[in-house]
Structure 1
Amino acid sequence: MFKTKHHKAAAIAAVLAAAPIIFLPGCGSSQKPNLPPLPPAPVSVMTVKPSPMTIGDTYLGQVTPYIQTVLSPAASGLLSAVNVRPGDVVKAGQVVATLDKSTLVPQQNAVTQAQVALSNAKQQYADALAMYNDRTSAQQQLQAAQNAVEQQKLAVQAAEQNLQKAQLQAQAALKGGGTPQDLSALQAVVAADQQAVDSAKKQLDLANSNLQILQQNLDTAKRLYGDITQEQVQQAYENYEKALASYNSWQHGAFGGNNPYANQVQAYQSIYNALNTGYTQLQQAQQQYNQGLAAVSQAQTALSSAQSNLANAQKSLADATPDASTNLAQQTQLTVQQAETSLAQAQAQYQAAQSSLKLAQAIYDDRTQAKQALDNALAQLKTSTANLQTAQATLEMQVKDGQVTTPISGYVQAVNAQVGQNVGPQTQMITIASMDPAMATVQVPEFDIGKLKVGTKMSVYVPTLNQTVEGKVFAIHPQLDSATNQYPVDIELDGGGAKLLPGMQVEARQETTGSQTAILVPADSVLSLQSGAQEVFVVQNGVAHSRIVQVGAMTSSQYEITSGLQTGDQLVVKGQNLLSDGDKVTIVPDTDSTKQTGSAKTGE
């Protein structure tokens, strides 16, 4: 803003009023009095010289908080103490208000109840786990029983075939040789047994091939997840549950800003998911490999049985035509009796294997029930743990002995509650503004916004402190104010933040390289005439001369003069408001601090 010129008539009137009135004899009333001349007006001057162009387009705004949060108590109750006042500096974690301790009783009761529930859940889980561990081998027992039934079934079939062969041999021996029909039957048995051997070999090859694949899968799982234990998975889950409880407590509390536990929850959840997935895949790979081993064992048993049957059939065929002169009646009859005994034993063992299979199936089914009970107990344990953590977090973090703490450091902007007042979660009790880092928000016209980007260096002048602070563009708000055609721009200030307070007016400009020079003068030295022109005074030979100047860029403290002044001119910087063109002046020292541009002359 330009200073308006004051006419020196006021000063002349003051001098006349103070001077004594003298009437000279013989003088008419129209004769002017002979007044003494006015003394030279005292002024301070500076020598005009080019300076680095440090001013440019100026954007107005104010100091703004980096973070602003409104604190509210976590519970309703009577406010017993307020420890801060507006303007106080607080640190994160500092107690700013205290509620009457009677408000903690319900929450303490909730914690006690949650502790009892967790203790019961732990005992139930321990009982279910003990019952489940007693049946860890039920699945292996069931598989073994199934394999035994299959083996005994094959044994019965083999015994039946052996009995049939023995009977045929006995008939051939008693008749002195086998009939063509008997030989055909034995040959059919040999062919069938040969097919059984071939089929058993193929089954064994398939089982071995599958086992190799399962072995590779198990080796891969061990290489990737072999170090993971069930205890690690359980610990990771408990860490995730604790972080989630803290996150939920913050969300339910009346805190402002971003939830500080969000990243922790995501990290612990990722760790738990990774460990749980790896452990599950390792267990599945091991189980599938064990099943593959059982399949190979079963195929080997089947092949051995088929090979044994084939050997017996081939021997029976070779012996089907004995020497007619040889008496084999007793021998063949004994063979038939042995075959019958073997069949009876095989049938008995088969029935015993079926009974064992039924028992193993019953045990396995009972283990499924135990697994369900264990899962239910674990779910209840997790729920009880989370409930206790939530109750403790509510008590310790939100209210903690009836105290309300600030989550951030900064200034207290407002206190909207008094001791003795009933407050609650809906009460906006204390407002905290963080000034670390120090921030300022200025309004930039639409036609200038393209000159700025994040990181652009800025010079910010704070008139209240008469201080210039360096900074850089922190953020450009993308929303244009349709009323002013301006964009809000946030500037992060470097240093000096301890003296800045929210709401202080600022003037920001983009820093220049300093290669350009200009004539810069104090803003107070430029006067505004009624005609709208701008005027300054320069001193030559003790006389003040008026100069009309053109003003370029400006701030509240400096103006750029684009015409009307020359290097070396003695510019009046103090006393110019009472001057007129041609007034005599005397130069006196400037008692103010050194000017931002040029220097004041101390005498002439």
Structure 2
Amino acid sequence: MNETKVTRVAAPRTRFLAALLAAGLMLVPLTGCGLGGGKKKEASAPAEPKVVAVETATVAEGEFANSAAYSGILTAASTSQVSSKIAGRVVQTMVNPGDRVKVGQPLARIDTSALQQQLTLAEAAAQVTEAQAEKVRQDLENGRLTAEKTLQLQDAQTFKTQSELANAVASAKQAVAVSEAQLAKARRDRENAITSAKEAVEAAELQLAKTAADVENAIAAAQMNTGGLIQTMSAAQAAASNAAAQLQLQVTQASNAYTAASEAYEKAVSEHNAAALPTLQANMDSAKNKLELLQLQLQQAQSTVAPAVAQANAQYMAAYAQLENAQKSQAVKLAEEQVEIQKLQLATVESATVEVAERQVDQARTALDNAIKSQPAADKLTAAQKAQAEQAYANTGSTGALQVVEAQKNQAGANVQVLQEQLKDGVLLSPVEGIVQAVLTPAGQNATAQSPVVSIVSMKPVQATVNVPETDIGTLQPGAPVLVSVPAVNGEYQGKVMGIKPGMDTATKTYGVIVKLEAESPLLLPGMYVQVNRPSAPHKAVRIPADAVLRQGESGAVYVVENGKAVKRKVQTGVLTGSAYEITEGLKPGEQLIVKGQTFVTDGSPVQVIPAGTEGQKP
């Protein structure tokens, strides 16, 4: 561990300066004594505070390794006191103190000869009760089989009766349904026939009305057609006459024009008027062409009048013949006869009845009512018979004899099981894996349920209990790694803090800390001395001599020199290593710390810093 040297500040070492300082201090009280003559003595001034000689050191930082060691012992994870479940003499112990045992390993054997005799008697009693129970069961089974067979026969008879009644009701219902369906069909057929006959009458009447209307329309149309043809023929004849007259007039006018043109041409020829001849010749040719054209049109008109009149006359004769045919038509009479036929069929359909179908429905409903009324009486009879059979069957299983004998058999079996378990308990087995700590009831002594026979300690997990001062307990937390040394086996093991016991030992001011070792070894035994080290990375902090700290309850205080006076400082201490304290709060490097004489000063006392080794001398 590296420690930072404490630098001590010493006073000047020359005797001259020391003597001078002493002389100066001695002269202080003489001031005011009045060396001048005759002055009246004044009141004395307050006494000066006493100057205390102290040694100081400059506060500096040092390195702390943060490694602390705590002592303790290996402790068992658990201790098991193995007792016997039965009372008896221990006839054999199979382990010795220090032996390692596993779960289920035999430890000791208890005398069970009396239990064996009791078990033999109990097994014989159990066999007797089992035989009695078997006989009662067999008798009850025979009675049950007989009653069960009777009940099955009754169930079959009941099922048959119910099935027959159900079939009769179902058949009656089906007959009612069929007859009702037939009645409904007959009614529908009659309604459909009436509807069809009515529709046929209506259709015949409509056809009659249509035929009469068609005949009337044909006569009117023929009459209208005949009159129209007469009018058309007359109009055609008049139009042909008018056209012929107009064309005749135009022919006459064209002939006159041609005659005039011929005369004018001849006159020009006779007068030898050659200049007018071409024009007159053209006029004469034009009048001739127009005359010829009109004559041709007149001939055509005269030739078309006769055929048109003949065609109109033929159309008239045809229309007149249609008129006569329409007036002589028999369609109306045939339609009237068809109407009468359809009305006769309608009367025939309406007079038909469905009385037969209605009678069949009434008969089927009567049969259904009779079947339904007979069912309750039959059900009541079969139910009474079945109840009687069921009661007889129930009586076969309700006897108390079987319950009594079964209870006796179960009790005998339970006695056998208890004695068998007690015989097994005659050999004590280890409940845990561990080390035999002691044999508390050796062979030859009697064991009871309250007295342990063997004590076993378990070392899984291997753990140690160490004592940690209250000043360090805050630095240990569950799970923190530690190094465990066991000098007895010259071994070191990694470990972890498992927990901290809440109670503090008031005498040693320590807490019990439980540490779990990460390795198992048969060499590790309870009670072995261990040392637990808590390593951590080194760090720097303010480092002062431990005796410079004045403890005041749970806190600490120091004195520093400021302007020739002692100043009290409260400090927070950390790690204590050797003769030095770690100061976490209250001091800083470079300050002058009083390391000797601090018990003679108070806050504000004047001090004189003296060299090291001169403490106690008067300044």
- Fold shared by both chains (TM-score > 0.5): no
State the TM bucket, normalised to the shorter chain. 0.3 to 0.5
**Higher-helix-fraction structure:** 2
Please report the TM-score for the alignment, with normalisation by the length of structure 2.
0.38
